[in-house]
Structure 1
């Protein structure tokens, strides 16, 4: 049963939930919000429709406005004359799958085939290959990032529920009027024949769009295709980047937390609570930064330094780092080195509690090792951990994706760090053999950390030993924990 839960959890998290969350919150690999000073993009999904799309084209032509049409492939095949007219009148054509099915419920190969079929239909009619893609309901799966080739995924800034007729033309117009400002990408519909939509709902859309076009003209706004909106936005981004480079942007600016980042952190915390409930994690330590569970090891056979082996089926004590502490450390630290030092110190504090817990919990005497997964490649050795590569496969790939996502959220310069050091950010298993962990329970020892013996030998009394130990932490950390190896224990 637990294996089924794990599979379901990872599928929902890494195939569906996280890609959608990352795309929607961070705009990762998608375009959804422009930076034009006077341009607004009207985008229309689900068509072409033989009744409403021609009326919409007449309206746009009357006002000299350009729109973007994400067409469903099977509809485009039925009405090639309308697709040809969209192209000839200077509007942008994009892909909205061949049939209006959600990407979460299709295999990656099926999604790719749907996109290719629709692209071929558009190219046959217009002679031009489409460059833009909007997945139905704006929902991507993790493979969409890698399989779309030259296509740019386009989402939206604002949507208005215009697929339901009961909203009415007046209320739809008021909703659109509140969002009428430069840089907006409006999501609208020129077809009501898809699942969940009302057949005559586009009547409201036509009426509301006409009023919006009039309002926009009075305010001096232009209604532009998504191609121009993206081009203008990219130019603005390059200009801002050049300005920051000239001014020398500070680390504090990189560490600032905007409202979107606060939102994704909040959602992340809720997701973590769900994880705790599903897998019955137990808190450990007075600070409340760690949780654990006892489970069977399922990786490949490991040979530990003391000559013992960790085999599939052996019981392990799996440690999970509380993300709240990681967020706090990330927001208060200027560099990844400082984040890593904070993490190591918190792990050091909790190890005695874990050792004492292991001695009293049911089946604790059967546990072979303490186990975790981390992007900290080195430095854990000083606490007694041994590092091993994760076996290649779904778990390693999905864990890598998840930890990179977390670095983007909490690292002082997360996006830049992931881009610049993509190859070196790889999670590894951290294993502490049972006897090594149990030694941490002995509070009478002057030195418990593996690797501190040399520092302890320089002093003969307890206080001197402690003074020697603390600088040695900084020395150990400053080398291994460089800017390319920061991560977390989960």
Structure 2
């Protein structure tokens, strides 16, 4: 009898692990079967447990004032009682996702009940909005094997998160919420907040934190707030992106490369010049080997939004560069670190059309030109896999594009940058 009980216990634990613990491990630790982040330079705000007639309209007001689009994961049982509020969320331009029919943890639901409640949630959301949500998030973030299979067969994207403020607890002050989230926020972060649920009155703290949080993400972290949009990338492409991104972060910290603002296509750093002598429009020497110069870098994470072929990428890059240069000029003029810098340059394969922006184009004479060209092609393929075949049209040798500080400030300093809007 003891042996039988032992076997029964082992089987029960094994079934429980397969049904709940292993799916949780894959989803929340490895990020397999869910999206813990998106793949753009921006940050996305998401709100769970609504809609709530006391708080949701106030969240919509703040988001509208800040011109931010978010994703609201609605509990269908609440949504069916607030159809006008659901309509208001959509009318404000936000995305609606499903948070299930009832706010029940997946571990407490057997397989058939899991499918029935999620199907019921989809039916209700389709009735309220005219279509089924593509994005879903499990209550408490809890998943089971049945739910993961449901997501797969129904073609739903399970959305997790990469930063949260634990804002469902009433003791979380607005400052605690803001500091916890911003400390975990970077490119592609999905932020979890609540416009309902949790401790009584807790959404009031979240509401008080929302505007300062938005401003800090945009102005201090220099990251845009963007709607939730996911690329149609396979898991290997997503893993490759993350690996390369970590390398870029390391390189940026090592070289002290900084962003200009939340929407600027450029990043900026300082480096020693190793190329041929450069002369300004008046024939004056402005850079020779060993001089400190400003080094302009493209913000590579923005490439996936520039198009599906290299021509479109180049066109959109030039268009965004034209919008970004006034803010770059303003940043340089106000930053004492660039007071004595006389020239700003970049080394890039995308160099057609830059003369129209006031830049000069010079051959890159250093011996590592082929390596730099190879690495830049990898960048374009990583950040925009759909343009992989077109990168051969870029050639193999990058060019030096450069502009004197005086010319840059004269041409762009008096213009207003749309990126500062």
Q: TM-score range by the shorter chain?
A: 0.5 to 0.7
Change (3 A) 1:8 1:235: closer
1:198 aligns with 2:199: yes
Residues in 1 aligned to 2:66 and 2:159: alpha-carbon distance in whole angstroms: 24
Change (3 A) 1:239 1:6: closer
Asked if 1 retains the 8 angstrom alpha-carbon contact of 2:164 and 2:180, the reply is: no
Residues in 1 aligned to 2:238 and 2:141: alpha-carbon distance in whole angstroms: 27
Gaps of 5+ in 2: 245-421
The equivalent of 2:54 in structure 1 is: 51
The equivalent of 1:231 in structure 2 is: 231
Write out aligned runs for 1:414-453 (5 A).
none
Residues in 2 aligned to 1:107 and 1:235: alpha-carbon distance in whole angstroms: 29
Is the deviation greater in 214-223 or in 47-56? 214-223
The equivalent of 1:16 in structure 2 is: 20
Counterpart among 26, 29, 40 of residue 30 in structure 2: 26
Q: Deviations over 1:78-128 (max 9, x none)?
A: 111111111122211111111111111111221112112221222112212
Deviation at 1:238, TM superposition (A): 7.0
The equivalent of 1:66 in structure 2 is: 69
Change (3 A) 1:238 1:187: closer
Residues in 2 aligned to 1:16 and 1:107: alpha-carbon distance in whole angstroms: 11
Write out aligned runs for 1:140-179 (5 A).
140-148=143-151, 149-179=154-184
Deviation at 1:147, TM superposition (A): 1.6
Deviation at 1:237, TM superposition (A): 3.3
Deviation at 1:36, TM superposition (A): 1.7
Q: Deviations over 1:360-397 (max 9, x none)?
A: xxxxxxxxxxxxxxxxxxxxxxxxxxxxxxxxxxxxxx
Counterpart among 98, 111, 114 of residue 114 in structure 2: 111
Task: Report how many residues are paired.
Answer: 236
Structure 1 stretches of at least 4 aligned residues deviating more than 4 Å after TM superposition: 232-236, 238-241
Deviation at 1:222, TM superposition (A): 2.0
After TM superposition, the score normalised by the length of structure 2 is: 0.53
Query: Which protein is bigger by CA-based radius of gyration?
Result: 1
After TM superposition, the score normalised by the length of structure 1 is: 0.46
The equivalent of 1:186 in structure 2 is: 191
Asked if 2 retains the 8 angstrom alpha-carbon contact of 1:134 and 1:155, the reply is: yes
Counterpart among 93, 105, 110 of residue 102 in structure 1: 105
Aligned-residue Cα RMSD (Å) equals 2.3
Residues in 2 aligned to 1:3 and 1:239: alpha-carbon distance in whole angstroms: 40
Asked if 2 retains the 8 angstrom alpha-carbon contact of 1:35 and 1:236, the reply is: no
Asked if 2 retains the 8 angstrom alpha-carbon contact of 1:36 and 1:232, the reply is: no
The equivalent of 1:218 in structure 2 is: 219
Deviation at 1:3, TM superposition (A): 2.8
Q: Deviations over 1:113-163 (max 9, x none)?
A: 211222122211221220011111111111222222111111111222100
1:208 aligns with 2:209: yes
The equivalent of 2:365 in structure 1 is: none
Residues in 1 aligned to 2:69 and 2:31: alpha-carbon distance in whole angstroms: 24
Residues in 2 aligned to 1:23 and 1:78: alpha-carbon distance in whole angstroms: 31
Q: SS where residue 223 of structure 1 aligns?
A: coil
Residues in 2 aligned to 1:233 and 1:92: alpha-carbon distance in whole angstroms: 21
Q: SS where residue 207 of structure 1 aligns?
A: helix
Change (3 A) 1:21 1:10: same
Asked if 2 retains the 8 angstrom alpha-carbon contact of 1:191 and 1:199, the reply is: no
Deviation at 1:63, TM superposition (A): 0.8
Counterpart among 19, 36, 39 of residue 40 in structure 2: 36
Q: SS where residue 43 of structure 2 aligns?
A: strand
The equivalent of 1:131 in structure 2 is: 134
Change (3 A) 1:112 1:54: same
